[in-house]
Every structure is written in structure tokens, then in C-alpha cells.
Structure 1
Amino acid sequence: MTKPEIAKLGYVSLVTQDLEKSLGFFREVIGLEETEAINGVHYLRAWGDFEHHTLSLEQGERAYVKHIGWRTKAKEDVSGFKALLGDEGIAVETIAPWSTPGIGEAIRFEAPSGHTFEIYYDVKKPKAPEHRRSVLKNQTYKAWAKGISPRRIDHVNLHTSEDWQVTYKFFQEILGFKLREYLKVDDGDQILAGWMSVTSLVHDVALVSRKKDEIPTNARLHHLSYWVDDSQDVLRAADICKEYNLPICGPGKHSISQALYLYVADPGSGCTVEVFTGGYLIFDPDWEPVAWNESERALGNTYWGDSISAKEIVKYTIEA
């Protein structure tokens, strides 16, 4: 029997303690388009995203990530994952079709990392309003309407204090992620961070292992990332963030992934957003994961630009 497969990152469901600030940040600074708002939940996407949303925002008493959505390659993969997860003894909740706007039947579960994931296939792809619609038939909205204006969602970076062997095995053997690059201890095989993907990207998800006394909860989101087309867009993003008096980290370049980055936090939720471009794509079916040693961590994180220590990075995570 063929294993079910994940096709791509779908969306992040974010709860914020200040919805007004978060909406202002994501709509005006990042420049996302709002598809609709239903029952207090706002659904947003980038100008090049076709699906109903890549981010949902709602008010809560505290900021945290409710779940992260992944779209499968085929409709039958949803039930395939449900059976596979059940065989692993993982409790699975079935979400009725379209109870989340734009998303058909889904399953929701807690991964061994402590993060809640949602898996689905059926989606709606609403057209942009006529006055915002691009003349390009292969693009949803007119580009560059406001703010940083990223093209699409790119990846998420997750932190966990759960058992590293169990979590990496689950992500690879059950969910089907391929390890592209990883950071390990100098003397041994323990993985400290792994960059994994189901697409040709260097990573659709980065998973960072933490000691239990390093993070306040066992599952954290360090950042969600939106893609811009080139390096000039990252520099422009830095200008926009400074105009809004928002502290930034970067612009800079990672050695791992070779991508350009800029980090900025949503003032409403504290959620960090990475504006991301460059890097490389992987097409080789026999790709050998690139190993970095712990002593090379600083270089792996930052080829050039602002350097952040491993301890400082933790400060920019929120509960997931």
C-alpha cells in the first residue's frame, strides 16, 4: 500500500491577544489580503496564494498557535494519514468539511513534538475582488498593493523539548518529510535542528530541539515565513518595518539554506514573521542531507548580517 503524502504547507491558525494590532500588522505592514472574516476569525493570504487563506487570526486571552495546516497530494491521503496515525496510537480528531472556511474534511492531531497539525485536501480557491484582481491569469491579486507584499507562504520554524529521536523519526517516517540539512552535536548523532521538506524547497518546516529548561512550553513556533521574489524586496521590507518603528533582525543571509532573511514580530501576538528569498531548490532524488556541527551553529544561522545566539532565538518564540 502506498503511503499517504503531504503536498505543501497550507496555513497557520494564530490566536492573538490584540487582534486590532495583529490585523494592522499583517494587512498593512506585511501586506496580506483579507479573504473574509467569519465569527471573529479573519482569513488572509498573500497576493500569489491561490487557496482561501494561509493565515487565520482571532482574538484570545493569550497568543498562541492553535494548529498548522498541511495539504495532501490526493483526497484519499487524508484518510490514509488517519489510518497511519491510528496505527501509531495517535488520537485523531475529524473536522467536518468546510467548518473551517475554504477547507474540506480534515483531521487534526498532536505530533510527538507537541505541535497540533491539521491535514486536508479539498480547498476553495476564491477569486480576488474585481478591483484587486490581477490581469495575469496565473496570479490572484495585483502585486505590490501595500506593505511588504510577499508572494506566498513559505515555511514554519518549530521548537520542541520532546525526545529528538521520536520527533525526527515521526516527521520523516510518518509524515514523509525529507531531511535536507541538519545541525548535530560535535561528538555524536543527536540532531539539534533539522530542515525538512516535502517539496523541492530546502525546508517546508524546520524543527529545532530544545532542552526542557530552555523553553517555557514543550512546543513553540519560532516563526512563520512569507516569500518575496528577490533580495531588493527584503531590503524594501526593512525600510517598511523601520517606517512603522518595528524592531527587526537582518537583513542577512543564512548559510543553511543560503537564503536571505529579515525577521520582524507582530506587535499584537508576538509571533515572528520571516521575510524570505533566495536559497536553492532540490531536485535530486538521492539528495544527501548536509550535516553541520554544533560548533558551526553560528555560521549555519548567519552567513552575514545580524547574528543571534541560540539563547536569544528562544525569546522570539510563542506557544504552539
Structure 2
Amino acid sequence: MKKFEQLPEIAKLGHVALVSKDLDKSLVFFKEVIGLEETEVVDGVHYLRAWGDFEHHTLSIAAGEESRIDHIAWRTKREEDVESFAVLLEDAGVEVTRVAAGEEAGQGEAIRFQLPSGHPFEIYYKIEKPLAGEKRRAKLKNQVYKSWAKGVSPRRIDHVNIGTNGDPSAIINFLAEKLGFKIREYIKAPDDAVVAAWMSVTPLVHDIAVMGDPTLASTQELHHLAYWSDNAQDILRAADILCEVDIKFVGPGKHGISQALYLYVIDPGSGVRVELFSNSYLIFDPDWEPVEWTMDEMDFAFTYWGDQANRPNSDQSTMFAGPLEDLVVKEPN
């Protein structure tokens, strides 16, 4: 195995690449209802970001026969880290695919690989940071677009939550040992097995969460991707906006784990769940001790108060809901 002068590091969550079986519905949902801005469209792929996202995109959407996540992308701290991760992963027996600069719009060279569960990941460093067009550009030099110009208007991408019907510890260990993620909070089963973990490389409580559930359809599921808003009032405003266009949602509520205010809503085009997320807490202590929760504390851990995230007999009652075929999004006025 090659010895590195400095181990490669992940800096942050970059973007999620989504394939939607109903692209038109997904675009109305993400652009007009959620309020993401479209950077550009290249070869049928729509590249979107929130008003406070600086990178070229934090979400891409393309049409496909079946909805799926093409990849979840992470940016490294240094340009050379991309190749270093490739070497490290290949030495560990992981199949790595090189992605040429420009193959994904706005992005430099990257690598793609799969977690032990099959979840597709991408790692990159170089990324364009285009300015907004003059009509949408913020006056503030440290902000890309005008705030709250349309729809819910979250500020930035925040995290992803993935699941598996296999052993979640295989994912958790891979993220920790190969990619440098730290466990911030976790759920332990009576047999001492870790069944879920909230992990990060930043001061956030989680850049990624991993949950195990034997009832899931596969080893590689996505529970949700999350966009962050500045405060609780933004989440209440989001609820009003979703009601106005007749889109069902779960929340608002507050998680025990992460202490965040949440609202969950499903994209009617792809069936992908989006969490609208605010508050929470930050971790700055270098000697942070992971917070342990037990199975009998799960209801309190997931929902401290408010609309139950896993309530029975609802359109989003399962942890990993599929598309809502009968849901029609109304175009906002």
C-alpha cells in the first residue's frame, strides 16, 4: 500500500445526481416549489443549486425510465486528494472509475466507486463557481442569488441519509476507515450492534446518515437529501407554500438526534424524499464523544416533538417511501 505524506480528506458534501422518470414534474418541484436556481442545462441534464450554494450545482436531474440516484458526490480539501483517494480505494480492493474533466458540467476530474452496499459515490475537487445572471444576482458579494426569490428557497445543501437492508456497520466502517467520516450520534441494538449512525467531516452533526432496516427493498436506498434553511420560521413558511400547491408533507417536527427542525416532502416526479432542515447544532470539539441512543429511545430520538417522521398510515409511513403515483403538482401562480 502506498504511504501518503498527508492522508486525503473529504471537505464537504457536493451534490446529488438524480435520475427522474418524470423530469417535468421534478423540475417544477425543485425549481418552482423548492426554489432552486438552474445554473445550466447540458445534454438534457439540469444543474441546480440553492441561492446560497457557490458551486456549479448541488443537484442535477436527468430523465430516465426509472428514478434512481446516479451518484452522491463529495468534494476533497485538495486537488491531489482525488487521485490519492483513488489509490487508497484501489489498494483496498474497491473498483474505481475515472471521470474526465467536463464529463459532468462544471466539474473537473473525478472518481466514482461504490460503497460495500452498492451506493454510488463520486469524489472531485475542481468545480466551477459561476455568478448568477444579473437579474438574479445578489447585491451581497458573499452571496450568489437574491434570497427567497421563489418557492421555499433554502440556503444550501446540507446532508444525505442512506439506508440498507444489509449490515449498516459495513457502510459505517467504510465511511470512517476509508473516507475519514466521524460518528457524531448513533443507535445501538441490544446485541451492541450499531444500526444507525450520523457522521460528518465538517462541524455539522451529519453530512451523511446511515440506517439499517431489513424491510428495505435493497442494500442501496436513499432516505432523503436535505437542504438547509436559516431558521424555524423558514420551515413554517415552507409548510404554507407546500399547502398552496397541494403537496403532502410530514412535519414540522424536531429531531432528538441532531436537534434539528424538519419537514419531509416527496418529489412527485422521482419519488425522492427531500428534507427541509433548520437549526440543529455544530460540533467544534476535537475530542467529541459520539452520543449513543438505544432502540427503546428511537421514537424520542427521531421525533422530539411534532409530526412523527415515521407515523403509521401516512403517505410517507415507511422509512424509504417510493413514488407517489397519484400526486399531481400544481404550477405555482
* Contact 1:19 1:57 (8 Å CA) reproduced: yes
In the TM superposition, what is the alpha-carbon distance from 1:216 to its structure 2 partner? 1.4
Q: Call closer, same or farther: CA 1:182–1:124 in 2, change over 3 Å.
A: same
Give distance in 1, aligned partners of 2:75 and 2:318.
29
SS in 2 for 1:314: coil
Give distance in 1, aligned partners of 2:148 and 2:64.
31
* 2:157 is the alignment partner of 1:153: yes
Which residue number corresponds to residue 287 of structure 1?
A: 288
- Amino acid aligned to 2:226: S
Give distance in 1, aligned partners of 2:125 and 2:243.
39
- Amino acid aligned to 2:7: K
* Contact 1:114 1:162 (8 Å CA) reproduced: no
SS in 2 for 1:27: helix
Match of 2:25 among 21, 26, 35: 21
Deviations along 1:41-79, one digit per CA (max 9) or x if unpaired, are 100000000000000001111111010000000001101
In the TM superposition, what is the alpha-carbon distance from 1:16 to its structure 2 partner? 0.5
Q: Call closer, same or farther: CA 1:310–1:8 in 2, change over 3 Å.
A: farther
Equivalences for 1:102-141 in 2 at 5 Å? 102-141=106-145
In the TM superposition, what is the alpha-carbon distance from 1:316 to its structure 2 partner? 2.0
Give distance in 1, aligned partners of 2:168 and 2:152.
36
Deviations along 1:241-269, one digit per CA (max 9) or x if unpaired, are 01110111000000000000000110100
Q: Call closer, same or farther: CA 1:308–1:131 in 2, change over 3 Å.
A: closer
Q: Call closer, same or farther: CA 1:219–1:120 in 2, change over 3 Å.
A: same
* 2:255 is the alignment partner of 1:254: yes
Which residue number corresponds to residue 57 of structure 1?
A: 61
* 2:311 is the alignment partner of 1:316: no
Which residue number corresponds to residue 209 of structure 2?
A: 206
C-alpha RMSD of matched pairs (Å): 1.2
- Amino acid aligned to 2:211: V
SS in 2 for 1:150: coil
Which residue number corresponds to residue 198 of structure 2?
A: 195
* Contact 2:52 2:156 (8 Å CA) reproduced: yes
SS in 2 for 1:222: strand
Which residue number corresponds to residue 266 of structure 2?
A: 265
Deviations along 1:187-222, one digit per CA (max 9) or x if unpaired, are 2321111000000000000000122xx111210111
* Contact 1:156 1:206 (8 Å CA) reproduced: yes
Equivalences for 1:61-76 in 2 at 5 Å? 61-76=65-80
Give distance in 2, aligned partners of 1:310 and 1:60.
31
Give distance in 1, aligned partners of 2:159 and 2:321.
16
Which residue number corresponds to residue 216 of structure 2?
A: 215
SS in 2 for 1:284: coil
Give distance in 1, aligned partners of 2:191 and 2:10.
31
Structure 1 outlier segments of 4+, above 6 Å = none
How many residue pairs get aligned? The number is 315
SS in 1 for 2:227: strand
In the TM superposition, what is the alpha-carbon distance from 1:317 to its structure 2 partner? 5.5
* Contact 1:180 1:195 (8 Å CA) reproduced: yes
Normalising by structure 1, we get a TM-score of 0.96
Give distance in 1, aligned partners of 2:191 and 2:291.
15
SS in 1 for 2:300: helix
SS in 1 for 2:192: coil
Deviations along 1:133-190, one digit per CA (max 9) or x if unpaired, are 00000000001110000000000000012333322111101110000000111x2321
In the TM superposition, what is the alpha-carbon distance from 1:310 to its structure 2 partner? 8.5
SS in 2 for 1:268: coil
Give distance in 2, aligned partners of 1:290 and 1:241.
34
